[in-house]
A and B are shown apart, each in its own frame.
Chain A
Amino acid sequence: MTVTSGTHPRHRLDDLLQNPVRFSVVAALDRAGTLGFREVRDAVEVTDSALSKQVSSLEAAGYVTVGKAFVGKTPRTSLTLSRAGRAAWRSHLAALREIADPSA
């Protein structure tokens, strides 16, 4: 039996986005584009430290850009889905759709 490597849609799934928290973070940013750290934390329902760790991974991969601003003396962190992150997300979703409905 011959196995053709790379034809199954699972090969197009993004390794970074298979982590549930990172998946949810990018999902939250997909429509909104830019959100505050607390807004993402509330949407994803994780602790600050867990979110911070996963955001660092996404930032290192170039999927998310992290902005820092001050409102008065309070620091505000914003997360923005980058162009590369959006492309990776679209590709990941397309692969999931193919797996979900192989006949399509």
Chain B
Amino acid sequence: MTEIQPAEARALLAQADRIARRAHDGVRWPYVAFIVALGAATSLGTFAMGLSEGRAFAAAYVGTIAVVLALVLWFTAAIRGRSAFARGRRWTGYIAAWTVTYGASIAVVAWVHGSVLWSAVTSGAVLVVTLACAARESRS
């Protein structure tokens, strides 16, 4: 068995930390930026849709779709060549969490339209969940 001296062990620990940080930081920023922007756009969009009618509703609806499409296009380009994390369990979990809260806020738009309380709760949940995912990913 190889004898490892304390100084060598300290050097190995420092090296492990350096490599882990470099690998994570070099790849992760588009994912963090995307989940924050997605949360902000869909939260504001569903809140606006839940409380508006007529042309204002149409503007909120089309505007939200346009922003989300633009974000998806940017994200697809930004992760080209480093998309492995997008197929990982952690990212799937983040997107699943967003989908659940977004589905709830869309349900409020469809069935409890005009309710400030329910719109605020569900749209706020979209923002909180995506910000929590981004914070977790930044700190992992």
Partner-B contacts on A (CB < 8 A):
10-11, 13, 18, 23-24, 27-36, 38-40, 42-44, 67, 69, 71, 76, 78-80, 93, 96-97, 99-102
Contact = CB atoms under 8 A, between A and B. Distances in A.
A17 B14 CA distance: 15
Given A10-B1, A35-B85, A39-B82, A28 B6 contact: no
A39 B23 contact: yes
B6 A44 contact: no
Q: Which residue among B9, B10, B26 has the maximum number of chain A CB atoms within 10 Å of its CB?
A: B9
A40 B81 CA distance: 12
A99 B24 contact: no
17 contacts: A11-B1, A23-B16, A24-B15, A28-B20, A31-B23, A32-B24, A32-B28, A33-B85, A36-B83, A40-B23, A43-B23, A78-B87, A93-B16, A96-B9, A96-B13, A99-B4, A100-B9
A44 B4 CA distance: 22
Interface of B: 1-6, 9-10, 12-13, 15-17, 19-24, 26-28, 81-85, 87-90, 140
Given A31-B24, A40-B23, A43-B22, A78 B13 contact: no
Decide if the interface of chain B is mainly helix, strand, loop or mixed: helix
Given A11-B1, A36-B82, A96-B4, 10 more contacts: A13-B2, A23-B12, A27-B15, A27-B17, A32-B20, A34-B88, A39-B23, A93-B16, A96-B9, A97-B9
A96 B1 contact: no
A33 B89 contact: yes
A99 B19 contact: no
A67 B59 CA distance: 42
A97 B85 contact: no
Contacts of B28: 32
Contact of A100 (B10, B22, B88): B10
B2 A71 contact: no
B21 A79 contact: no
A69 B10 CA distance: 38
Nearest to B139: A31
A56 B117 CA distance: 55
B9 A35 contact: no
